Structure 1
Amino acid sequence: MAPTSSLSPTQRRIVWAVRILLALAFGAAGIAKLAGVPQMVQVFDAIGAGQWFRYLTGAIEIAGAVLLLIPAFGFVGGLVLFATMVGGVATHLLLIGGSPVPALMLGLLSAFVAWRLRPVPWSGAAR
């Protein structure tokens, strides 16, 4: 499979649908963290890194969601959110318990977007 420039119209629609879905999910999660929703405060208390980490995570999720929706930055957004979900899965498995499946699914979808939007290597020689 090839990067975005060679995707069929149907493939482009699928990638955009996943980008929008991820932007909505991460945007909502980020807003909940920044707004101090009690469940989010409890989760980050359980993590033990302090509430500053909740604010940082919320800001990263919102920034990643916005990047997904900007055509030139979708790849970066996918990478940022994938990395965030690697941390989320590890946090569930090692620190707080609960199911890592939602974080795993969001991470896999983010990786899919990053992979489909990966930059095309430049093969020209420098002159």
Structure 2
Amino acid sequence: MFEIAAPSAPTAPTTPTAPIGSPTTSTASAGPRTGGRVRAARIALRTLQVLLALFYGIASALPKLIAHPTAVESFDRIGWGSGAMYIIGVLELAGGMALLIPLLQSVAAIALSALMVGAFIVQLTAFIVQLTAFDGQNAATPLILMVPLALIAWTRRSHNSDLLRVLRRR
């Protein structure tokens, strides 16, 4: 009913005769996988940029720009008032939008990182000075946000020279 095929003679493995690094050796198979990883990394980084842009534009800047009571209260507690609230809201919105513009994305990440350093210092200072009025619960948030911003600034750093060329032409 079933036929069993006779075992065939083993074949000797072939070895490449081309020089190392040529397309016919094992490095050629690493190319598509590496290209796929690079593409996946680019997509992940772009997704991170979009998420950060949404965070800065909606979750962070919008409450300041519409004078949401929680934002007003926070700025009043540290003694800065509504003027600083609006300025910081505009800076966050501009930085978030610039994260989506290829020519500006590295500079935007650097600028937002600087803004986060300032936010951390202000929150920590307010916590120390006004220990009872300010609980410092969000003091680590700026530091956490600096990690992906530093990654964006570093990986998109080639755009800085492009931006300088554009600025020099004007």
Q: TM-score range by the shorter chain?
A: 0.7 to 0.9
2:142 matched to which residue of 1?
Answer: 103
1:83 aligned partner, one-letter code: A
2:77 matched to which residue of 1?
Answer: 46
RMSD over equivalenced CA pairs, Å:
1.9
1:94 matched to which residue of 2?
Answer: 125
TM-superposed deviation, 1:66: 0.6
Greater RCO, 1 or 2 (C-alpha within 8 Å, sep 6+): 1
Aligned pairs (5 A) from 1:106-121: 106-119=145-158
How far apart in 2 are the matches of 1:46 and 1:121? Answer: 38
1:26 matched to which residue of 2?
Answer: 56
Secondary structure in 1 matching 2:112: helix
TM-superposed deviation, 1:48: 1.1
Give the stretch that moved more between structures: 15-24 or 110-119.
110-119
How far apart in 2 are the matches of 1:41 and 1:110? Answer: 26
TM value normalised by structure 1: 0.83
2:106 aligned partner, one-letter code: F
Percent identity between the aligned chains? Answer: 33
2:40 matched to which residue of 1?
Answer: 10
1:32 aligned partner, one-letter code: P
Q: Structure 1: any 5+ residue segments left out of the alignment?
A: 1-6, 123-127
Q: May I ask how many residue pairs the two structures share in their alignment?
A: 116
Mark the structure with the bigger radius of gyration: 2
**Partners of 2:103 and 2:160 within 8 A in 1:** no
**Partners of 1:92 and 1:98 within 8 A in 2:** no
